[in-house]
Structure 1
C-alpha cells in the first residue's frame, strides 16, 4: 500500500526536526551553553564574596565564597553539572527533559552548620573562561584543582579540611581532579557517569535507533580536537587514586541515562568509599539530583562525620 500524501509530507519535516535536534545536542555536548546567573546566595540570607581564580591550565574561573564566620573553617566546594552554573540548574533551556536543581538549600544548611562554601562556574559555564571541547571530567579536573589551590591560599580556610560535592559531570570532575588536590577529607559524588554508557543511553533516548551510532562517532570529533576520547574515559581509574578521602556516592534508581552498575564499579575502585546510596527517585535523571535539595540533613551529616 502506498503512503498517503500526508505521510509523505510529514516525513521530511520529521527528518528536518531530527537533524536540527541532532545538531543542537551535538553542539551542547561539545561546546556547551552558558546558563546565566539570575540569583545569588543573598536570596538565602548569606553573605558572600565574589572570587576569581584560575584552573591549573590558566583558564579564569569565577565563583562565590560564602564564609562560615570570621575565623578559619572547614570548607565544601560545589562542582556543578553539564550546562549548569554555580547555583545549579534552571529547567527548560535544553531540548530534553530536565528539572530545576537548586544548590541554595544545602549551601545554607552547610553554612549554618559551620562550613564555608565555595561555589564556582566550571570552564565553558556561567561566567568562567573558555576551554573547548567539554570533556566531562578529564580537563575540567583542572578547574577543581584550581579551586582547591585557591582555597588553600585563604587564611579563613582550614587547608587540610576541604571537601566537595560533585554533581553528575561535576562528580566526574572531582574524581579526575582529586588525585592532584590531595589531601581531601570528604567527597559527596552524586550520579557520576561513565561517558560511553551515558552517551549511548542519552543518544538513544533522544535520537532513537540511530542514537548509538551518533554516540560512537563522538570519538572522531574529540580525536580531531586532540581532546580525551569519550570511549577511553572511566572515572573509576582516577577514583582508585583518591586516597585518604571518604567518598559517598549517590545514584537515582530511576535514571534512564546513568546506571547503578557504573556507579558501583566506581565505588568499588575507590579506596575509602561508603558505597552507593540508591536514591528512590521516580523515572528521570534529574529526579536523582533532588538528594541535595530534599536531604540536606544527610548532606550536612556526611560532612559533620568525615570533614
Structure 2
C-alpha cells in the first residue's frame, strides 16, 4: 500500500495561501462605470436577504425588459483588473462586464448589476468568507426582492446574467426560495464552477496536486465550507427557467465534465450549452459575451419578447 505523501514546508505555504484565498479572496476595485462605455446609469443600493448592503448600478433603457447581473468570485460589477498589480498575479486579464451591459442596453434591455457581499463596494459579511454561492444566494434573493418591490421595475419582464459563482448563487437561491423566481424568463450562466474541481486543477499547476484534503482543511480553518459542498451540482435540478451555459472547453482551471454534469442535472428541457474553443484561459470565458454578444442577446430575445 502506497503511503500518502506529506507536504513539504514550501508546499504547505502554498496550500495555506490557496486555502485562505479560496475562502477570503482579496477585493478588487470598481475601476470603470457604465459612463465609460457611453451609458447613462444610476447608483442604487439595496439589502441582501439577510441585510448586507449591496451596491449596484441601474442602466435604463426604453423598454419593459430587465436583466439582473452579478459576477464571479474575486470580481465585481465592473469586472476584474487583471492588467494591474496585485490582481494580475492571479490572472493577467482585464474582465469588462460593462461590455456585456452595453450589448444588452443596445438590444433594448434595462440592466441592474450589483456587487455581491465581500466584493466590490458591497458590505462585508460572514467574517469575509465566501461560499461559491452558499452565502451569496442571499444577495441574489435580495436583488429579486428589490426589483419586485420597486415601483418602476416590478412589472418588467426579467432575466438573469449570473456568471460562475454568481450563477452558483442563483441556483442555490432558486432551491431555497423558489417563490422569488417564478417571474424569471431566462437565465444566462457563463462558467458555473465546482470548488473542488477548480482547486484540484490549480493545485496541480502549483505543484500541490496531491494535497486536496490539506487544501480543504486550510479552507475550513479560514472559516469556509467543505469544498465538496461548493458546487452547483447539488442545486441545478431546482432551476425551473430556460438556461444557457457557456464554458471554455480546455479551461486550465476546470474540466469539461464539471460543467457538463451541471448541464445534465438541469431538469428543464429548454437548456443550451456552448463550448468556447481556441483558448485555455478561463477569463476569456468571462469576456466572451462582451465581445460576442449575439448568442446571449438572441437567447434573451427568444424568451423575453
Give TM-score, length-normalised by structure 2: 0.86
Matched ranges for 1:154-303 at <5 A: 154-159=150-155, 161-179=157-175, 180=177, 181-183=180-182, 184-218=184-218, 220-221=220-221, 225=223, 228-243=225-240, 245-272=241-268, 273-303=270-300
| Residues 274 and 253 of structure 1: CA distance in aligned 2, closer, same or farther (over 3 Å) | same
1:43 corresponds to which of 36, 40, 55: 36
Deviations 1:229-268 (A, max 9, x none): 221233122221111x100111111201222211111112
Distance 1:105 1:129 in 2: 25
Structure 1 residue aligned with 2:93, among 95, 99, 108? Answer: 99
Distance (whole Å) between structure 2 residues aligned to residue 231 and residue 271 of structure 1:
22
Conserved? CA contact 2:246–2:276, under 8 Å:
yes
CA offsets, 1:83-142, max 9 Å, x none?
A: 111111110433333421111222112112111101111100011011231101111011
1:137-174 CA-to-partner distances (Å, cap 9, x unmatched) read 11101101101111122233254621111222122112
Count of residues paired in the alignment: 287
Structure 1 runs of 4+ with >4 Å offset: 18-23
Aligned to 2:111, what secondary structure does the other structure show? Answer: strand
Work out the CA distance in 2 between the residues paired with 1:206 and 1:77: 36
Which stretch of the first structure deviates more once superposed, 265-274 or 249-258? 265-274
1:207 and 1:217 mapped to 2: Cα distance?
Answer: 18
CA distance in 2, matches of 1:239, 1:58: 26
Superposed CA deviations along residues 152-197 of structure 1, whole A, max 9, x for unmatched, are: 2223325462111122212211211234231211111111112221
1:153 equivalent in structure 2: 149
- Residue 76 (1) aligns with residue 73 (2): no
**2:103 counterpart (109, 120, 124):** 109
Q: 1:296 and 1:247 mapped to 2: Cα distance? A: 16
**Bigger Rg, structure 1 or 2:** 1
Aligned 8 A contact 1:236 1:270 in 2: no
2:250 match: secondary structure: coil
Query: Please, which moves more after superposition, 119-128 or 97-106?
Result: 97-106
Instruction: Tell me, in whole angstroms, the C-alpha distance in 1 between the residues paired with 2:273 and 2:92.
Output: 23
Distance 1:199 1:46, change over 3 A: same
> What secondary structure sits across from 1:157 in the alignment?
coil
Aligned with 1:167: secondary structure? coil
Shift of 1:26: 3.0
Cα distance change on mapping 1:97 and 1:111 into 2, 3 Å: closer
Q: Counterpart of 2:3?
A: none
Higher RCO (C-alpha 8 Å, min separation 6): 2
Is the Cα–Cα contact under 8 Å of residues 54 and 121 in structure 2 kept in the other structure?
yes
Secondary structure class of the residue paired with 1:215:
helix
| Structure 1 portions without partners, runs of 5+ | 1-13
How has the CA–CA distance of structure 1 residues 52 and 290 changed in structure 2, closer, same or farther, with 3 Å as cutoff? closer
- Give the structure-1-normalised TM-score: 0.86
